């Protein structure tokens, strides 16, 4: 039976994640990986660190931030129609692109902190889903080469107190093939896996989208060069928060008071 996106959406809603196979062909994934290595070189040339001791235990994890300014291929991926359809299924029509980063786990890499992505951008309680990650597999991903590990059911945790003391024993890998995407809602608790292979890289991209009232992790207006901003579609400008107006009227009612609460004629006459 052909893959049904609606089944994936239902799985995402219930379990907090889903996998969509072959959004990219194997060749396309390999081409993106090649561009990622070039982006890593370019980021380093620009003086940006690709090892972050704050989050990764050793330099075998290679982080590339600000993908959107490094290569147009990443601007295409963040706006990929399948990815956007999944994002809208969680967040609705209106959302922001908070971040787009890469984590290449090379042999010897170790796990970062267990966290949920929502917990990084606003305080508990996390009663609703206001964030979603689209994870692009650029290589085959297995437990051995450092697949992202997650706790099944953790999409229902409302507070840090809900994370069990034996969290480490509950972790399960998101395995996949190069070209698959894994969509994970912002409440799922997860970490990077350890890459215990001798010679396999595990390369993932993380497209992070949030509800429009959550401050983005990157201020794209400040970060993206003007020449790039000027090439973007009106839709992308809105998703990146580049337009002059930001957080206005999300769920507000701005009708005049006299319309919202018409005066009672009898009261006025008195």
| Residue of 100, 92, 96 lying closest to 76 (CA atoms) | 100
Q: Which is nearer to ligand AKG, 77 or 204 (CB)?
A: 204
Tokens 């401050």, located at residue: 215
Determine if 103 is a binding residue for ligand AKG (CB under 6 A): yes
* Interface size with ligand AKG, residues (CB under 6 A): 5
Phi, psi of 18 (to 5 degrees): -155, 160
Among 83, 114, 181, 204, binds ligand AKG (CB under 6 A): 204
Binding map of ligand AKG across residues 113-152, x = CB under 6 A, - = no contact: -----------------------------------x----
Determine if 187 is a binding residue for ligand AKG (CB under 6 A): no
Whole-number Cα distances in Å, 89 to 5, 66, 101, 170, 237: 10, 25, 22, 27, 20
- CB neighbours (10 Å) of residue 166? 7
Determine if 195 is a binding residue for ligand AKG (CB under 6 A): no
Among 192, 195, 216, 217, binds ligand AKG (CB under 6 A): 192
Tokens 């085959």, located at residue: 140
**Contacts with 52 (C-beta within 8 Å, 6 or more apart), sequence order:** 61, 63
d(CA 74, CA 205): 9
CB of 238 to ligand AKG, least distance (A): 25
Determine if 18 is a binding residue for ligand AKG (CB under 6 A): no
CB of 93 to ligand AKG, least distance (A): 26
d(CA 101, CA 49): 13
**Contacts with 93 (C-beta within 8 Å, 6 or more apart), sequence order:** none
Among 9, 40, 187, 190, binds ligand AKG (CB under 6 A): 190
Give the residues lining the site for ligand AKG (CB under 6 A). Answer: 103, 148, 190, 192, 204
């Amino acid at each position: 039976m052909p893959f049904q996106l609606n089944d994936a959406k239902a799985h995402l809603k219930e379990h907090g994640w889903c996998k969509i196979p072959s959004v990219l062909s194997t060749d396309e994934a390999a081409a993106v990986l090649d561009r990622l290595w070039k982006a890593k070189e370019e980021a380093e040339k620009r003086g940006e660190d690709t090892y972050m001791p704050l989050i990764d235990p050793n330099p075998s994890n290679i982080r590339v931030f600000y993908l959107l300014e490094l290569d147009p291929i990443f601007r295409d991926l963040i706006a990929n129609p399948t990815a956007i359809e999944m994002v809208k299924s969680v967040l609705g029509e209106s959302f922001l692109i908070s971040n787009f980063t890469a984590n290449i786990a090379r042999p010897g890499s170790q796990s970062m902190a267990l966290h949920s992505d929502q917990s990084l951008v606003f305080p508990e309680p996390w009663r609703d889903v206001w964030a979603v990650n689209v994870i692009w597999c650029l290589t085959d991903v297995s437990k051995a080469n450092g697949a992202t590990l997650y706790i099944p059911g953790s999409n229902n945790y409302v507070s840090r107190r809900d994370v069990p003391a034996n969290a480490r024993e509950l972790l399960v890998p998101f395995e996949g093939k190069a070209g698959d995407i894994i969509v994970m809602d912002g409440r799922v608790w997860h970490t990077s896996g350890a890459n215990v292979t001798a010679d396999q890289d595990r390369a993932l991209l993380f497209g992070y989208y949030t509800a429009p009232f959550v401050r983005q992790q990157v201020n794209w207006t400040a970060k993206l060069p003007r020449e790039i901003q000027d090439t973007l579609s009106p839709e992308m400008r809105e998703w990146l928060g580049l337009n002059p107006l930001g957080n206005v009227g999300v769920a507000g009612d701005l009708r005049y008071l006299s319309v919202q609460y018409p005066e009672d004629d009898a009261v006025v006459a008195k």
